[in-house]
Chain A
Amino acid sequence: MRRQRVFAIGALLILALFGMMAVSLAIGRYPLSLADIWEFLQASVGLHELAPERYALLYNIIVEIRLPRLLAAVLIGAALAISGASFQAVFRNPLVSPGILGVLGGASFGAALGLLISEQWMVVQLLAFVMALLAVGFGVFIANLFGPGTMVTLVLGGIISGALFTALLSITKYTADPYNELPAIVYWLMGSLQAVELKHIAVVMVPILAGIVVLTLLGHALDALSMGDDEARALGVPVTAVRYGVIIMATLVSALSVSIAGIIGWVGLVVPNFARLVFGPANARLLPLSAAIGALFLLSADCITRVLTPAEIPIGIVTELLGIPAFILVLGRARRAWI
C-alpha cells in the first residue's frame, strides 16, 4: 500500500477517534451537547465564565465520570490490539491472541485472590498485574526448561501456565463466599470500565504509551522474524533479544490493561486481523494502526454499553458480540492468504 494512502487513512482514524471521544463525553444518562463540552473546555482554561454550580456539575460529569472511562477505553483498546498484533508476529500465527502465554489466566487468578482477601480495589489490581506477569514468566520458564525455548515450547509453556492459573482461579472461586465474593469475581471476569478512576489512568498511561512506541520501533525486526529464525538471523536481527523484548513489552501492556478493566476479549484477536486486511502485514505500520483501531473499537463498544440499556452490560460481553461478526468477515476475506 502506498505511503500517502496509509497516511491519509491514519489521519482519518485519528480524526474518527477524536470524534468518538467527543461523542463519548456527550452521551450517557445525563446527555450533554457538544456545545456544553466546548463551553466547559473554555471555562476550564479561563476563557469563559460559567456559573460555579454549573461548572461543578459539568466537572463532575465530564472529568470525574466520563473522562476516566474514555481514557481507559482508548488506552486499553490500543494496548490489547497492539499486544495481540505483536504476539501474532512473534508466533507467526494470525490466530494468536494476547492470552497465548497465560497473561489472562494469571490476571484472573490474581484479581479473584484480591477480591477474596481484600476490600481494596488497589489490591485487586495490583495482584492481577503481578499474577499476569508471573503467569507469563512461568510459561517462559517452562518453555526453556529442557533447553533453549522454541516457538512450540513457548506455546506449550503458555498453555501449561494458563491451565495452572485457571485451576488456581477455580480453587479461589470454590472457596469464595457465594453471595458476595463469587459474583464480584464473575463480574470482574466479564471486564468493565466502570470502576476506573483517573488515578489508575495516571499509573498505566505512561507504560502503555511507552510500550506502543517500543513495539512499533521493533516492527521491522518483527517482519524479518516472521520469515523464520534462521532468515531473521541471516538478516542481522538478534532474534532471541527481539522475541523476548516483544514478549515482555506486549505482556506488560496487556497485563496493565487487564489489571484495571478485567478480561476484555476479542480486541487483541480481531483488531490486528482487521488492520492487516486493510493496511497489509508490515508491522512498523500495522502495530500503531492496530493500536488506533483498537482504541476506536473499544471506545465505540463502551459507548454502546452506556446507551444500550440503563443497567450497563459489561464491556467484555459487547466486544465479544461485536467481535464475532467482525471476525467472520475477516475470516472470509483473509482465508486466501492463510491457506
Chain B
Amino acid sequence: MDIGPNRIGENRDGQSGTSSGTFLSARDIHFRVGNRDILKGIDLVIGPGEIMSLLGANGAGKTTLLRVLLGLAAPARGEVFIDNAPTASLPRREVARSLAYVPQVHMTPFPYSVREVVAMGRLPQKGLLSNPSDRDHDVVQRVLGQIDISHLADRVYSEISGGERQLTLIARALAQQASILILDEPMANLDFGYQALLSKHLRGLADDGHTILMSGHDPQLAYSASTRIGLLIDGHLEQDGKPDDVLTAATMQKLYGVDVESVALACGRRAFFPTGQ
C-alpha cells in the first residue's frame, strides 16, 4: 500500500520512535470568521528540539492557529509546511504520520481502556481497515512505558484522573510516531505535580528530536517548560524568542493588561508576580 518514496514519515520502521527531526512552518497565515480577522499574517518555523509555548489572552487566536497548523481549519490565506511539503496537498493519513495532536483532556462516551486509546495512535501507520499487528502492540506497550503509565494500561480512560488522561493522550501521540507534537493547553486542569511531570516528559521528547508546540495560559509555566515563547496578540505573533527575552514586565502588561513584577532568582531563572492590588 505504501511502496515508493515518501518524504515524511520515514520513521515508520525505525525502532526509536523518533525521526531525524521535522520542521513545521507556517507562512503568512490569515484566518477569518465571518468578517472578523482572527489571524492576521502569522509566520512561524519550529524545528527539532524546540519546545515552543504560545501565550495569548483568551480569544487571541491560539486555538485557531493550532487548528490551522494541524490542518483542521483551512486558512483564508497562507500555507502550512511539514519540512518542505505543504500539508494541504498531502493525504491526511500522511500528515498524521508526521504531525500528532494532543487535545485538551476530555471524556469519552464509551469506556475505552487506556491501552485502546493509545492504540488509536497506530491508525495512521497501520491503516484504517487492518487490525493492529504484534508490532503495533509492541509500540503501544513501549510508549506506555516511556510516559510511565504502564500501570494504567487496563484502566478505563474516563475513570482515571485528568493528569493521567493528559499523559494517555501524549502517549497516543507518541504511538503515532510523529515527530511534531501540537498540544492544546496541556497544562490546564493539571495539578502542580502533573505540570512538573509533563514538563519533564516534554523536555525528554524534545531532546529525542521531537518538535513541540503548545498553547498555554500561565506565563510562569511557559517560562519554565519551554525553550521558546511566542506571544499572540490581536492576530499577530508580536514576540517570538527565548523565554528570558520575551517575558518581560512590559510584554506581559501588553499581553494580559496587568502590571507584573519580574523577579530574578538565584538559580538564574525568573518568577512573575502581578503587582498593585
Contacts and interface: CB of A to CB of B under 8 A. Distances in A.
A228 B110 CA distance: 12
A331 B215 CA distance: 39
A94 B117 CA distance: 18
B131 interface: yes
A219 B70 CA distance: 24
B103 A223 contact: no
Interface in B82-114: 91-97, 99-101, 103, 106, 108-113
Interface string B121-132: 101100011110
Interface in B68-85: 70-72
B72 A233 contact: yes
B158 interface: yes
Centre residue among A217, A220, A280, A336 by max chain B CB count within 10 A: A220
Contacts of B120: 220, 223-224, 227, 235
A10 to B, nearest CB: 14
Contacts of B237: none
A282 interface: yes
Provide the main secondary structure of the chain B interface.
mixed
Contact of A280 (B93, B94, B103, B116): B116
Given A224-B120, A230-B101, A235-B120, A281 B112 contact: yes
A284 interface: yes
B238 interface: no
B110 A226 contact: yes
Nearest to A231: B103
A276 interface: yes
A282 B157 CA distance: 13
Interface string A305-339: 00000000000000000000000000000001110
A238 B108 CA distance: 20
A221 B103 CA distance: 18
Contacts of B129: 217-218, 220
Interface string A108-127: 00000000000000000000
A33 interface: no
A336 B109 contact: no
In this complex, the interface size class of chain B, counting residues with CB under 8 Å from chain A, is 35 or more
A31 interface: no
B92 A226 contact: no
A331 to B, nearest CB: 14
A93 interface: yes
Contact of A284 (B91, B92, B131, B156): B131
A92 B108 CA distance: 8
A98 B248 CA distance: 58
Given A94-B110, A238-B92, A220 B156 contact: no
B134 to A, nearest CB: 11
B67 interface: yes
A338 B257 CA distance: 41
Contacts of A206: none
State the 7 A-B residue pairs at the shortest beta-carbon distance, nearest first: A236-B96, A234-B101, A236-B93, A281-B110, A236-B124, A337-B111, A92-B109
Interface of B: 67, 70-72, 91-97, 99-101, 103, 106, 108-113, 116-117, 120-121, 123-124, 128-131, 156, 158-159, 176
12 contacts: A94-B109, A218-B128, A221-B128, A227-B117, A231-B103, A234-B96, A236-B95, A237-B123, A238-B92, A280-B112, A282-B116, A338-B109
Given A217-B129, A236-B124, 7 more contacts: A223-B120, A226-B109, A230-B72, A237-B92, A276-B110, A281-B116, A282-B116
Interface of A: 89, 92-94, 217-218, 220-221, 223-224, 226-228, 230-231, 233-238, 242, 276, 280-282, 284, 336-338
